[in-house]
Amino acid sequence: MSGEDRADSARWVQPERPLPVPTQDDVAFFEAASHSEFVLQRCAACGLFRHTPRPICPACHSLEHLWQRASGQGAVYTWTVVHGPTLPAFEAELPYVVIDVHLDEGPHMIGRLRDCPPADVRAGMRVEAVFEPGDDGIMLVAWRQSG
Ligand SMILES: [Zn+2]
């Protein structure tokens, strides 16, 4: 077995979790998340909150925007239960729930739902953002049921 083969075997035993690579459009989101702060991009001209971050307002086409602290609260709009197949890094977590959160500020955000059995997920269920450290120092946003 060559060294390269051993490296491949090690990766298979402990697969790396894929992580987002921040771009110029969303680096401010991940920077805030690194301090457990939930922010959204907001149009400076018309005030529309938007997600995913992008350079142009979909409502008024303004290029001006700001980042504003947001509630980190929302409701489950819809969801899916992942039974597999999935990436090797997530196999041990099957089945898991991915939700579409309708944020209180208006936009939708996709993320993992933590600490909730798949059978208990309901449309309209209130959720709040939680911050989870990933590898390489990036902080990920997930969701859990809130009161
Ligand atoms: Zn706008």
Instruction: Give the distance (Å) from ligand 1 centre to CA of residue 108.
Output: 17
Phi and psi at residue 138, in whole multiples of 5°?
A: -80, 145
The yes/no answer on whether domain 3-145 falls in CATH 2.40.50.840 is: yes
Instruction: Give the distance (Å) from ligand 1 centre to CA of residue 64.
Output: 8
Of 60, 7, 69, 80, residue with least CA distance to 38:
69
Distance CA 29, CA 39 (A): 6
Instruction: Give the distance (Å) from ligand 1 centre to CA of residue 28.
Output: 19
DSSP string for 75-142: EEEEEEEE-S---GGGGGG-SEEEEEEEETTS-EEEEEEES--GGG--TT-EEEEEEEE-GGG-EEEE
Instruction: Give the distance (Å) from ligand 1 centre to CA of residue 5.
Output: 53
Structure tokens belonging to residue 93: 């977590």
Structure tokens belonging to residue 86: 């999935």
The amino acid at 129: A
Of 129, 113, 108, residue with least CA distance to 35:
129
Structure tokens belonging to residue 128: 């709040």
Which residue's structure tokens are 């922010």?
39
pLDDT-derived band at 3 (thresholds 50, 70, 90) equals: very low
Instruction: Give the distance (Å) from ligand 1 centre to CA of residue 13.
Output: 48
Instruction: Give the distance (Å) from ligand 1 centre to CA of residue 70.
Output: 17
What pTM does this model have?
A: 0.86
Instruction: Give the distance (Å) from ligand 1 centre to CA of residue 72.
Output: 21
Q: pLDDT tens digits for 39-88? A: 999 999 999 999 999 999 999 999 999 999 999 999 999 999 999 999 99
Q: pLDDT tens digits for 104-136? A: 999 999 999 999 999 999 999 999 999 999 877
71: DSSP letter: -
Instruction: Give the distance (Å) from ligand 1 centre to CA of residue 47.
Output: 6
Instruction: Give the distance (Å) from ligand 1 centre to CA of residue 61.
Output: 6
